[in-house]
A and B are shown apart, each in its own frame.
Chain A
Amino acid sequence: MLEPVRMPTDDAVPSEDDAVDADDLSDAVVRQLLPRLRRFALHLTRESESADDLVQSTLERALTRWPGRRPEGNVRAWLFTILYRQFLDSQRQTRRYSRLRDWFAGSEATAPSAEREAIARSALGAFGRLPESQRTLLWLVSVEDMSYKAVADLLDVPLGTVMSRLSRARSALRDLSEGKGNEPCLRILK
């Protein structure tokens, strides 16, 4: 019987980039973070044009708000949070709009666009077929190497929820990679 591995506290596992610091929203910091913001936005929106629009409105908001408000965490987490909130807002608006559109145009408007399907099948393969919330979580943890605590703050959920969601997301990604396609996969590949 092995002794169980002691659970690390989140403070004990800072991720390197969380130290990208951070007290200043200087142009240099923004330029440094810009590619990361754009890639994250790209994986949220899946369209480069709307991704850049999202980044642009994020930076506008951030630069407008900065003088009056300092973020609690570091600048990167703060910017990512603004970007993600804006994305969710725009999603809600889009859903409202598409409900309206469906009402007038019939249900064909809900079919995924060719572009979306193409992107879903593209380089990221299985990852691209995950639902948005799982993609976001995996992206922030694996690609951005953001601390679990920062991710929990960004998603506005408890740390434990982040960990269990992360388990589900990683299992789902594995299943998709191994061809155990589940429902979202079938829907997109039909």
Chain B
Amino acid sequence: MTERAIDDLTRHAFVDGRLSPEQRQAMHAYLRANPDEAQKLASWQSDAQRLRDVASQETLHPNPNLDPDAIRARLRARSRQRLAMAASFVMTLAVGGLAGWSAHDTVVANHVLPMQDAMQAYRLFASADAPQPDVSAGASDLQRWLDTHFAHAERLPNLSASGFKPIAARLLATDQGPAAVVIYENANERATFYIRPPGPGGKFLPQGSRRDGDLLARYWSGQGYNYAVVSSGDDGVVQPLAAPGTTRS
């Protein structure tokens, strides 16, 4: 008789005590005739028993986190968190969308060309029939006059490279506060330096230039004000020279 006479299933069912009484009886008879097999299965049985013994003696530390109540509470908390996160996501989208839309409106409504008022000031005060200026003086007087109205502003730009010298100035009013135009003159033409508070919403300007008809404006921001140098566009942009105390050229 070889081991082939019984199969693995029967063998293990015997070891694990899963045979019916009749099957067990037949198995015992078989094993009496096969002592090697009997010994092997007996050792498998004792191995299994030892394993059960060790397992049952093993102590587990209580872990309240694993109690179903705790697990369910955590699951509920997590789904609340997810819900809250989803809600805040929806809110973010809604708020973002609304803000974006109103920002779009604002941009459209406020789409004013930069330093349009500087251009107008040039046309008004640098023309041949300009009204009387508030002050007419040399550079140092004009600087002092400007400082009384615009604290800490940048210095008057030095336009002497193009032959321009400041000759007069005039105070103006904007929605955001006082502005001023300083008129420069060279042999043939006039240029203006325009200073004003930032536009609605404290909008400062990136450095840039633009043409409007025959005028050319170069504009920038600094020290809490917006500035522009406007000149007749035929000669190109008037470049101020760096002067002592000037924070920008």
Contact = CB atoms under 8 A, between A and B. Distances in A.
B23 A8 contact: yes
Contact of B51 (A35, A59, A139): A139
A93 to B, nearest CB: 21
A148 B12 contact: yes
B1 A30 contact: no
A105 interface: no
Contacts of A60: 71, 74-75
Contact of A27 (B9, B12, B65, B68): B68
B20 A12 contact: yes
B52 A52 contact: no
Interface residues of B, number: 44
Interface string B67-79: 1110110110000
Nearest to B15: A170
Nearest to B52: A143
Interface string B227-243: 00000000000000000
A13 B44 contact: no
A113 interface: no
Interface residues of A, number: 48
B48 A167 contact: no
B54 A124 contact: yes
Contacts of A170: 12, 15, 44, 47-48
A39 interface: yes
Nearest to A14: B18
Nearest to B48: A142
B36 interface: no
B55 interface: yes
B8 A145 contact: no
A2 B29 contact: yes
Given A2-B33, A163-B7, A55 B66 contact: yes
A167 B10 CA distance: 11
Contacts of B48: 138, 141-142, 170
Contact of A166 (B8, B66, B69): B8
Contacts of B58: 39, 42, 123
Interface in A149-176: 159-160, 163-164, 166-167, 170, 173-174
A52 B66 contact: yes
Interface of A: 1-8, 10, 12-13, 15, 27, 30-31, 34-35, 38-39, 42, 48, 52, 55-56, 59-60, 63-64, 123-124, 127, 138-139, 141-143, 145, 148, 159-160, 163-164, 166-167, 170, 173-174, 177
